[in-house]
Amino acid sequence: MTTEKNISNLPQSDDFPTERVILGKGAPMRLDCGVDLADFPMAYQTYGTLNADKSNAILVTHALTGDQFAAGINPLTGKPGWWTTMIGPGKPIDTEKYFIICSNVLGGCMGTIGPASINPETGKPWGLDFPVITISDMVRAQVLLLDELGIETLFSVIGGSMGGMQALEWAAAYPDRVFSCVPIATSAYHSAQNIAFYEVGRQAIMADPDWCSGRYLEEGKKPRAGVAVARMAAHITYMSETALTQKFGRRLQDREAVTFGFEADFQIESYLRHQGSSFVERFDANSYLYVTRAMDYFDLAATHGNGVLAAAFRDTEIRFCVISFSSDWHYLPEDSRVIVRGLTGAAANVSYVDVVTDKGHDAFLLKEPEFTNVLGGFLDGAARRRGLA
Amino acid sequence: MNNMKSIRVDLQVIADLIEPGSRVLDVGCGDGQLLDYLVQEKQVQGRGLEISPEGVNQCVARGLSVVQGDAEEDLGYYPDDAFDFVILSQTLQATHHPDQIVKDLLRLGKRAIVSFPNFGHWRVRSYLFFNGRMPVNKTLPYQWYNSPNMHFCTIKDFIALCDEMNVTIERSIALDASGQAHRVRTKLFFANLLGEQAVFLIHKN
């Protein structure tokens, strides 16, 4: 099997420093689209120690552009993991108490099979030949990972944004394998507005000539401009207007006056351009298409409750803690209330906190004392009931 | 080791009405003092609903299952008969539609416990009588213009509402200024005059 030398998909290679397991070995995994996936890699990291009766495992599910490096140092960026505020000794997701697993999602680009992986049938990257995946498929793969690790029940599944969708999917599809569930800043379905924003991103990527109809890896190219625009558009929805105004306002970037041109006169332009261009270095364009598509297709009530969200959680014994952020306009507090009402309708054990903050959707990745206290308190309470404390 | 926790006297009266191990919803649970007590000391399956973010945060941070929401909007989402007891403590007078709330409480709970400040207390009556102004005291600390309370009632009024709604009063207790509990039924006139607060255990007829 030969591949071109200029293929720059390091995280998909075997040399990339991450834990890796091959799933679908005995029997292939059937995807929602009908395709079977066999012998595929899933990359993951773990933090903390699994206890003797394997009752202290927490699955942390990552968001669209996240990865398995939730804590520690991300070897690709050299920066701390995306949730080091929450995961660590003495932190709410305490590595001294819990065994934390975080895996790269199906369709991702950090070691789990995705469109940048090599299709064994052709010896070339999958590109758009990769089957379209769903949130349910991502969770199916995580279930296989847990089977590999010999973990029957999760003490908790915790995730923000798209990670929250996976957490909800776990609760609805595998209620017997989850003790508690924390969906954060998320929604039980993608709204027209959510789909619209991600469609802008996908169109930006596909309009870039360097996308090469999805075959850019073989061509030794990268749709930099398209991916950057996709990231910029999405990033705006992750911040509140208040935060944007406070952080940038109408301030100019390294200049006294506007230049009457189209350079980045304003700080916000410069910031977004930086966000866009640095994102290109760590994220695969086709992965962005597939993973955003998975979110668009997500509709928990339709999949598990015949259109009724409460029915998706019928007779659940899981302890839920739903958390939203008051200034989040990507997934609104109202989206979380819809989840809470569904759970309430199912007489589920649910807590719900709308954290008052001006930091928007991104708040779930930031230091927010109230958020930290609530998550820590909920987990402590659940741990007492689980006999872990 | 296992010291009984002490809680506010009116909350203790409510707690004493709750059967151990039952399913309880505390509507307007505040910082979770009563709910925490019931979970710890009576091993109830406790849930709470609270409107203030500070209250909810404190509750969840101490491990209680509490939802941030508005009773008048959110009670409708709970299924019928989901609880053995639904508690509405010192909140009835702050709702837009107290009668609707009582109806909701008894839809989703087999029994409800309702407590409220008694506007028929002699001090309230005499304050209004002698001063000609809306009463302000330690159980009613607000001015008329900034009070969250919009529907005051007396013990007699609440009994009349229950009669009108065909609701059965199982227990009725008046608490005087010293926190002493009195049974309402046998001496209604005095209870309505001396009770600063009232606690009712009710169920559907």
Q: Which value does ipTM take for this structure?
A: 0.89
- Which tokens is A163 given? 């990670």
SS3 string, chain A, reads: CCCCCCCCCHHHCCCCCCEEEEECCCCCEECCCCCEECCEEEEEEEECCCCCCCCCEEEEECCCCCCCCCCCECCCCCCECCCCCCEECCCCEECCCCEEEEECCCCCCCCCCCCCCEECCCCEECHHHCCCCCHHHHHHHHHHHHHHHCCCCECEEEEECHHHHHHHHHHHHCHHHECEEEEECCCCECCHHHHHHHHHHHHHHHHCHHHHHHCHHHHCCCCHHHHHHHHHHHHHHHCCHHHHHHHCCCCECCCCCCCCCCCCCEHHHHHHHHHHHHHHHHCCHHHHHHHHHHHHHCEHHHHHCCCCHHHHCCCCCCEEEEEEECCCCCCCHHHHHHHHHHHHHCCCEEEEEEECCCCCHHHHHCCCHHHHHHHHHHHHHHHHHHCCC
pLDDT of residue A229: 97
Which of B167, B165, B201 lies closest to B184 in space, CA to CA? Answer: B201
Instruction: Give the containing element (helix H, strand E) for B25.
Output: strand B23-27
Q: Could you give the residue range(s) of every CATH 3.40.50.1820 domain in chain A? A: 6-190+299-386
Per-residue buried b or exposed e for A35-44, using 16+ beta carbons within 10 Å of the residue's own CB: eebeebbbbb
- Whether residue B61 and residue A341 make contact (CB cut-off 8 A), yes or no, is no
Residue B139: pLDDT above 90?
no
The string of pLDDT tens digits covering residues B60-97 is: 988 999 999 999 999 999 999 999 999 999 999 999 99
Global pTM reads 0.93
Chain B contact set for A319 (CB, 8 A): 65
Q: To 5 degrees, how large is the angle CA B94–CA A355–CA A162?
A: 130
The string of pLDDT tens digits covering residues A199-218 is: 999 999 999 999 999 999 99
pLDDT of residue B174: 95
The CA distance from A70 to A141, in Å, is 18
Chain A contact set for B57 (CB, 8 A): 353, 355, 370, 373-374
DSSP string, B42-84: H--EEEEEES-HHHHHHHHHTT-EEEE--HHHHGGGSPTT-EE
**Do B79 and B106 contact (CB within 8 A), yes or no?**
no
Q: In the structure, what pLDDT confidence band is assigned to residue A38 with cuts at 50, 70 and 90?
A: very high
Residue A189's region, left for phi above 0, alpha for psi from -120 to 50, else beta, is beta
Q: Which amino acid is at B170?
A: E
Chain A contact set for B44 (CB, 8 A): none
- Which tokens is B150 given? 């919009």
CA B182 centroid distance within chain: 16
The string of pLDDT tens digits covering residues B142-186 is: 999 999 899 999 999 999 999 999 999 999 999 998 888 888 877
Which residues are within 8 A (CB) of A262 and not within 5 positions of it... i.e. 6 or more apart? none
- Whether residue A349 and residue B63 make contact (CB cut-off 8 A), yes or no, is no
Q: Which amino acid is at B178?
A: S
What is the average pLDDT value for chain A, to the nearest integer?
95
Q: Give Cα separations from A287 to A66, A191, A347 (angstroms).
A: 12, 21, 38
The CA distance from A253 to A261, in Å, is 13
Q: Which of A308-312, A338-342, B51-55 has the lowest mean pLDDT?
A: B51-55
Alpha-carbon gap: B88 to the closest alpha carbon of chain A (Å): 18
Q: Which amino acid is at B37?
A: Y
pLDDT of residue B4: 59
pLDDT of residue A7: 39
pLDDT of residue A333: 97
**Do A269 and A244 contact (CB within 8 A), yes or no?**
no
pLDDT of residue B44: 97
pLDDT of residue B202: 98
Domain A6-190+299-386 in CATH: superfamily? Alpha/Beta hydrolase fold, catalytic domain (3.40.50.1820)
The single residue listed with the structure tokens 């969906």 is A183
**Do B203 and B167 contact (CB within 8 A), yes or no?**
yes
Instruction: Count the alpha carbons within 13 Å of B127 in the hemisphere toward its beta carbon.
Output: 13
- Which tokens is A21 given? 């397991």
| A334: nearest CA partner in chain B | B69
Of B60, B67, B68, the CB nearest to A377: B60
What's the full length of chain A, in residues? 389
What is residue B90's DSSP assignment? S
- Whether residue A370 and residue B47 make contact (CB cut-off 8 A), yes or no, is no
The string of pLDDT tens digits covering residues A224-236 is: 999 999 999 999 9
- B26, exposed or middle or buried, with CB in 10 Å at 0-12, 13-18, 19+? buried
The CA distance from A10 to A16, in Å, is 6
Residue A123: pLDDT above 70?
yes
Of A319, A353, A380, the CB nearest to B56: A353
pLDDT of residue B2: 43
Instruction: Report residue B161: phi and psi, to 5°.
Output: -60, -45
Alpha-carbon gap: B181 to the closest alpha carbon of chain A (Å): 34
Interface of B with A in 37-96 (CB under 8 A): 45, 47, 53, 56-57, 59-69, 74, 77-79, 82
The string of pLDDT tens digits covering residues A251-302 is: 999 999 999 999 999 999 999 999 999 999 899 999 999 999 999 999 999 9
Q: Could you give the residue range(s) of every CATH 1.10.1740.110 domain in chain A? A: 194-290
Residue A2: pLDDT above 60?
no
Residue A242: pLDDT above 70?
yes
Q: In the structure, what pLDDT confidence band is assigned to residue B5 with cuts at 50, 70 and 90?
A: low
Which of A170, A83, A46 lies closest to A375 in space, CA to CA? Answer: A83
A194-290: what fold?
Rna Polymerase Sigma Factor; Chain: A (1.10.1740)
The CA distance from A366 to A352, in Å, is 19
**Do A111 and A20 contact (CB within 8 A), yes or no?**
yes
Instruction: Report residue A54: phi and psi, to 5°.
Output: 55, 40
The CA distance from A181 to A161, in Å, is 14
Residues of A serving a catalytic function are 161, 328, 361
- Which tokens is A69 given? 């490096």
Of all residues in chain A, what percent carry a pLDDT higher than 90?
A: 94
Which of B114, B98, B108 lies closest to B168 in space, CA to CA? Answer: B114
Chain A contact set for B59 (CB, 8 A): 351
